[in-house]
Chain A
Amino acid sequence: MTSKKAALLAAIPHTIPVFTGYIVLGAAYGILMDSKGFGIIWTLLASVFVYAGSMQFVTISLLAAGFDPLGSFLMTLMVNARHLFYGVSMLNKYNGLGRLKPYLIFTLTDETFSILCSTDAPKGIDRKWFLFFVSFLDHIYWILGSLLGGILGSMMNINTKGIDFVLTALFVVILINQWKSAKSHIPALIGISSALLSRILFGASDFIIPAMIVILLSVTILRKPMERENVQ
């Protein structure tokens, strides 16, 4: 077996929860685009080149509000600002990936990040290709899901209400795994409490950036004691 094929096979099980979530959410996006009269080509282009789930849903409201290129650009920066944290977290892991690196950075979604930051390539598996295939498979699932939704549209008649909870469940499980493996629980508690506090203070649509600021402040203030605890 070639090392690429082995890496692909090792990557697949890690992406199964994302498969379920992306097919369904992607389909929801495709259906919504179709219902607003956008051709399948726009759904495809957005899913390939934007590839940011919640942002793609926001684009539909942006387009409904009228053509505002600069406003849309700034809105995207704000909605996706959380990606900055993913990049900083992956600075070490994405070292030495050569020509695969730009693609891995381009496809760093919430879900791909959550898998890759908490999983290492199994023993004997090429690390580079493992990281690549997890990212690539997730991307493909999202594109497939949105195409399915765009093509089949309202023909689909299964009651999938609540199935997007699979992604919430994925994050909860990763949180538990981290909780068990971490030397200190302070970082996890900071993340949860900062986000909760901001959600209560700023409401559902505007809380991520305040939450990021509170997280940055908290970890900065607690740097000394945390480094003493040797949080890794």
Chain B
Amino acid sequence: MNYTTTQLILFFSLVSLATILTRVLPFILFPEKKKIPKFVQYLADVLPFTIIGMLVVYCLKDVSFVQMPHAFPEIISIAVIIALHLWKSNTLLSIGGGALLYMFLVQCVFI
């Protein structure tokens, strides 16, 4: 890919700027000193509990039930994470155990 330095600087600046915009906009629209509208306050209370579910789906967006291995590594690993976490409530154990199991499944079982 042949780009001049100026082009690349412009490109990455714009991508950075757009990313910053998406992060800063809510804080510009609702600054600390102004009272947050009731509806926005309601969103601020309820959204944290909705977005994490959306993020889980986002992580799994490329998984296919139709094609091999039919989402088995994901289903098994997530079931184990849930079981481990309900049993021991140890965050690092649940995450580490689940990720290691997943790696084992995709490297050694469902190749």
Contact = CB atoms under 8 A, between A and B. Distances in A.
A165 B77 contact: yes
Central interface residue in B3, B18, B78, B102, by most chain A CB within 10 Å? B18
Interface in A197-232: 199, 204, 207-208, 211-212, 215-216, 219-220, 223, 226-227, 231-232
Interface string B8-23: 1011111111111111
B45 A169 contact: no
A163 B102 CA distance: 8
A168 B53 CA distance: 11
A150 B8 CA distance: 17
A223 B47 CA distance: 12
Contacts of A49: 12-13, 16
A77 interface: yes
B11 A72 contact: yes
Contacts of B59: 167-168, 171
B54 A77 contact: no
Interface stretch (A3-11, A82-90, A121-129, A140-148): A82-90
Interface residues of A, number: 95
A173 B85 contact: yes
Interface of B: 1, 3, 7-8, 10-27, 30, 32, 36, 39-40, 42-62, 73-74, 77-78, 81-82, 85-86, 91-92, 94-96, 98-99, 102-103, 105-107
What's the dominant secondary structure at chain A's contact region?
Answer: helix
Contacts of B55: 110, 114, 171
B58 to A, nearest CB: 7
Interface in A33-52: 36-38, 42, 45-46, 49-52
Contacts of B3: 63, 67
A185 B47 CA distance: 12
B51 A63 contact: no
A173 B96 CA distance: 11
B42 A223 contact: yes
Contacts of A226: 46
A83 B19 contact: yes
